[in-house]
Structure 1
Amino acid sequence: AEQAQQPHVYIFGGGHVGQALASAVALLPVRVVVVETRAEALEGMPDTVETSLTPMPEAMVRKASAGAAFVVLTHDHALDFLIVAEALKRRDAAYVGMIGSKTKKATFRNWFLKAADGSEAQFAGLVSPIGGDAVKDKRPQVIAALAAAEIMTALAAHAGARAAPHPVSRGKAMAG
């Protein structure tokens, strides 16, 4: 029962970074689900990680509970784009992250706004590259550690925002 109340982290893609991220996040107080289209990519996942083999991973986004985190790092840019678009359009995700370069993010933005009927406000919810770009080390374990910290920060902020009895203004004072 305790696991059902934990935030859900959906990792789309079980490649090198997906495996490393699943291992890192599995140690944290979250429920981890790795979603893949390739059976062999799910081999070797930690026992505490749930796996889902599906030909349509974007459908898992629709089934997810509110406040979930979605991390997208499949083997296919087009599939990444479909999953990310689905996650951004939910509007209730704590975190939507996509692995990739600034070029990939710009390509996704153009597609999302034109072909996927997305908005700039929705696009603003995308974290890409995951783990930030301050550390240039591209080893899967390093990306996983940075992304895990980023995800936990986003989950905590989302939970705090939901628990607040009324909106709290932070930052600049509003002119009135």
Structure 2
Amino acid sequence: MHTWINALSDLQSRGEPCVLVTIIEERGSTPRNAGSKMVVSAEQLFDTIGGGHLEYKAMHIARQMLAERREAPHLERFSLGASLGQCCGGATVLLFEPMGQVQAQIAVFGAGHVGRALVPLLAALPCKVRWIDSREQEFPESLPAGVSKIVSEEPVDEVDELPAGSYCIVMTHNHQLDLELTAAILKRNDFTWFGLIGSKTKRVKFEHRLRERGFAEERLQRMRCPMGIAEVKGKLPIEIAVSIAAEIIATYNASFGQHNNAVNAGPIAQLLPPSRRSQAI
């Protein structure tokens, strides 16, 4: 059996969030032991706190905490009896401890100069990064922890694989590819934040083409282009990268712990001043 302590170590090494569930107190004639633990991830369950309906309810609460990206530990008292399928009275107190919760799932499309400057900055944050490009030779030999390299001949197909609520950054070497990625991301419309590298002129051109494809104005306004905060000046790759990273930090600090969807994620960009500088690819 994969014990809870091994599972916790494996999940944390992969940067996969989970919840550690512990029996803190047990009262009543039940076979459960105080101190028993189990680990709950989004898709798996490791070890046991005694099975039955209580374990099922604990798993449900843990996965709800993961979905809500909750950071704080939580105590829950369960009164044993008919509600938990028990034939006797008593109570069980469980402690739920979120472990390794990331604040952002980030997809970076493009491994050019700005991408190579940006990804190490993002990797230093509490996030997981998917770094996507069709050109394997553009990636550095070693990647920071928490960064997954995805070499794909069809980067647009990777949009469908992104978790809901992702932060999407498009900065490829090809304007047509940038356009197709933009269309795919806006079509999903379940991202937390989407930034496209480029100038105001590029934005105007893209908006015109996207309107021709039927995208509504409200959807287009969710696109940040130029992206990054205006207070960070300059056109060097590292300067642009710092500007983009700063906007992402401001965004996830504002929205962390909330459910992000097409309704409530739109106003996030309004928290930040519009960028006044052009961005070179």
Report TM bin, short chain: 0.7 to 0.9
- One-letter amino acid matched to 1:52: I
Could you say which structure has the greater relative contact order, defined with CA pairs below 8 angstroms and 6 or more residues apart? 1
Question: TM-score scaled by structure 1?
Answer: 0.85
Kindly report structure 1 stretches of 4+ aligned residues shifted beyond 4 Å: none
Mind listing any 5+ residue stretches in structure 1 that lack a counterpart?
A: 171-176
| Aligned-residue CA RMSD (Å) | 2.0
CA contact (8 A) 1:102 1:128 kept: yes
Q: Is the aligned partner of 1:68 residue 2:80? A: no
SS of 1:35's partner is: strand
Aligned-pair distance for 1:160? 4.0
Aligned-pair distance for 1:155? 2.6
Alpha-carbon distance in 2 for matches of 1:89, 1:159:
23
Q: Is the aligned partner of 1:100 residue 2:112? A: no
Query: What whole-Å deviation, never above 9, does each CA across 1:64-89 have from its counterpart, x for those lacking one?
Result: 11110000000000101111111122
**Closer, same or farther: CA 31–62 of 1 in aligned 2, 3 Å:** same
Aligned to 2:175: 77
Q: Which moved further from structure 2: 42-51 or 143-152?
A: 42-51
Query: What whole-Å deviation, never above 9, does each CA across 1:22-48 have from its counterpart, x for those lacking one?
Result: 011010000011100111111345332
Q: Is the aligned partner of 1:53 residue 2:151? A: yes
Q: Which moved further from structure 2: 45-54 or 22-31?
A: 45-54
Alignment size in residue pairs: 164
Q: Percent identity?
A: 32
Alpha-carbon distance in 2 for matches of 1:45, 1:101:
31
Alpha-carbon distance in 2 for matches of 1:21, 1:156:
19
Aligned-pair distance for 1:134? 4.1
Alpha-carbon distance in 1 for matches of 2:136, 2:122:
21
Alpha-carbon distance in 1 for matches of 2:257, 2:219:
21
Aligned to 2:113: 16
Aligned to 1:162: 259
Alpha-carbon distance in 2 for matches of 1:159, 1:90:
21
Alpha-carbon distance in 2 for matches of 1:41, 1:141:
17
Alpha-carbon distance in 2 for matches of 1:139, 1:95:
23
CA contact (8 A) 2:232 2:242 kept: no
SS of 2:259's partner is: helix
Query: What whole-Å deviation, never above 9, does each CA across 1:73-117 have from its counterpart, x for those lacking one?
Result: 0000010111111112222101100110001010000011103x2
1:144-163 alignment to 2 at 5 Å? Answer: 144-162=241-259
- One-letter amino acid matched to 2:168: F
- One-letter amino acid matched to 1:35: I
Between Structure 1 and Structure 2, the one with more strand by share is 2
**Closer, same or farther: CA 55–9 of 1 in aligned 2, 3 Å:** same
**Closer, same or farther: CA 4–121 of 1 in aligned 2, 3 Å:** farther
Alpha-carbon distance in 2 for matches of 1:39, 1:22:
15
Which one of the candidate residues 122, 125, 128 is aligned to 2:222? Answer: 125
CA contact (8 A) 2:230 2:243 kept: no
CA contact (8 A) 1:22 1:45 kept: no
Mind listing any 5+ residue stretches in structure 2 that lack a counterpart?
A: 1-10, 18-101, 268-281
Question: TM-score scaled by structure 2?
Answer: 0.55
CA contact (8 A) 1:61 1:86 kept: yes
Alpha-carbon distance in 1 for matches of 2:237, 2:113:
6
SS of 2:124's partner is: coil
